[in-house]
Amino acid sequence: MAKVVAIKQQPVKTKQSARAKAVSDRPSRSEAEDAVRTLIRWAGDNPRRPGMIGTPARVVRAYEEWFSGYAQDPREYLSRTFDEVAGYDEVVVLRDISFESHCEHHLAPIIGRVHIGYLPRNRVVGISKLARLVDVYAKRFQIQEKMTAEIAGCLDSVLKPFGVAVVVEAAHQCMTTRGIHKLGVTMVTSQMLGVFRKRLETRHEFLSAINLRGAAPL
């Protein structure tokens, strides 16, 4: 039976105080619903008509789900690890982790998938925790470049492996449903740390494992 190791995290006062301030500044549910009504009126419709009278409440509930990542600490999902791995010392890859996020510039959906690889240093983390790590960052307002770096940085700082690799592929509806209206466009970002940055063969092993060019369409 594998031994579970809990990683003790040091509190980060600046992040905690920033989070507390964000909570204290958060509008009430009633204020949020009023804001939705204002946007409906600005768009040219009547929020009081029968078909839309319940829309503000539904939108606020949707926001609670879409942006639940602000209430979660991604490091907590990586705090339980397994150190009995029978000498396993090769790359671990979890690919095609689906996600839905929202662009911080237009609040439009970003739909895509994440591929994560790391080279363990004596301990591994449960694969479901990697998917949860992605969800925490995805369920916030994002730009893809920042989200890619955040996932890699968190995994690297908590597990301290020999290296971390993250590739994100996504379609941005701020580009497909407005503005330039270009369908079928996919953005690809990557963050390579440790051996994945320094050793070309390790990076190629990861990229081959995720089969980037051969993946199913989004």
Which position among 33, 103, 115, 142 bears the catalytic label?
103
104 is catalytic: yes
Contacts of range 173-178, beta carbons closer than 8 Å, 24 or more positions apart: 173/103, 173/108, 173/109, 173/110, 173/111, 174/103, 174/105, 174/106, 174/108, 177/108, 178/106, 178/108
103 is catalytic: yes
State residue 61 phi and psi, 5-degree precision. -65, -40
181 is catalytic: no
Which position among 102, 115, 172, 191 bears the catalytic label?
172
Decide: residue 13, CB within 10 A, 0-12 exposed, 13-18 middle, 19+ buried: exposed
Length of the chain: 218
CB 113 within 8 A of CB 134: no
105 is catalytic: yes
The CA distance from 109 to 150, in Å, is: 19
115 is catalytic: no
- Residues catalogued as catalytic: 103-106, 144, 172, 174
